[in-house]
Chains A and B, each alone.
Chain A
Amino acid sequence: MDISTRTRDRVTILAFAGSLDSNTSPAAQQAVDETLKGGATKVVVDCTALDYISSAGLRVLLGAAKKLGGAGASGGFRLFGLNQTVGEVFDISGFSKILAVFNTEAEALKGF
């Protein structure tokens, strides 16, 4: 998996490319930890190149969401660009209901 970070205004965008699974989740966790340690309060995860995610990857996202305040209006964690399989995994696990998921980057950044 490849992980890249960029910032737009005061929002940190983390892009995960490839699979987020038991093998790659430690690297993803490290990227999230470093982002939060750097003082980021608003984080968007770009999933447009994310191939699939398993529960190990969901755990990383849930941890970040908890630290950043979840999906509520004041929450600091958003995602966008899920493919069909990642969307299905989000639906099955209930993450679609508890995380702020958007279709595009523009929608994810709007009003954030």
Chain B
Amino acid sequence: MHPPAKGGKGGHIVAQMRPSFRMTIGTDPTQVAGVSRAFAAFAEAHKVPAAVRRSVSVALDELLSNSCAYGSAAEVSIDVELQADRLSVTLSDDGKPFNPLDLVAPDTGVPIDQRPIGGLGIHLTRQIMDEVAYQRRAGRNVITLAKLLP
């Protein structure tokens, strides 16, 4: 019997299994709620800190409801992975090329009675996440998000 080797000669590199889950939904707005519930259950099962869970929940709601309301996609896939230092989320849809991060941030300094209702979601997502990026990849819109663990 050999002791477990870590990457040494003849040993096996055993990849650390990172907690993750994947979901694919259509773009019926009611399906966003299913993602919220699944993510909350995942976060609870893997003891994700509440502040991280809440921030990611906000970003998921913003981006998915945005896809459902304005996008041209038929389906969106959601990949969540808990890494050593961060929670990473990848959203990928099959719609026309569209980078929601191009949307201009609203002027949040205007008086209450002059504020247009809405238009805040992307701004919130950018600010509340530590990393937000868009790529057009293999005919899909791919948004990657990360929130660092405290």
Q: How many residues of chain A are within 8 Å of chain B by beta carbon?
A: 29
Question: Given A21-B36, A85-B54, A92–B61 Cβ distance below 8 Å?
Answer: no
Chain A interface residues toward B at CB < 8 A: 19, 21-23, 51-56, 58-59, 62-63, 65-66, 70-71, 83-85, 88-89, 92-94, 97-99
Q: Mark B47-63, 1 if CB is under 8 A from A, else 0.
A: 00011001101100110
B57 & A21 in contact (Cβ 8 Å cutoff):
yes
Nearest CB in chain B to that of A83: its residue? B54
A66 & B113 in contact (Cβ 8 Å cutoff):
yes
B108 & A94 in contact (Cβ 8 Å cutoff):
yes
Contacts of B128 in A (CB 8 A): 85, 88-89, 92
Contacts of A63 in B (CB 8 A): 117
Chain B interface residues toward A at CB < 8 A: 29-30, 32-33, 36, 50-51, 54-55, 57-58, 61-62, 64-65, 108-109, 111-113, 115, 117-121, 123-124, 127-128
Partner of B118, one of A55, A66, A70: A55
A55 & B124 in contact (Cβ 8 Å cutoff):
yes
Contacts of A22 in B (CB 8 A): 29, 32, 61, 64-65
B65 & A56 in contact (Cβ 8 Å cutoff):
yes
Question: Given A85-B51, A92-B124, A92-B127, A56–B113 Cβ distance below 8 Å?
Answer: no
Contacts of B55 in A (CB 8 A): 52, 85, 88
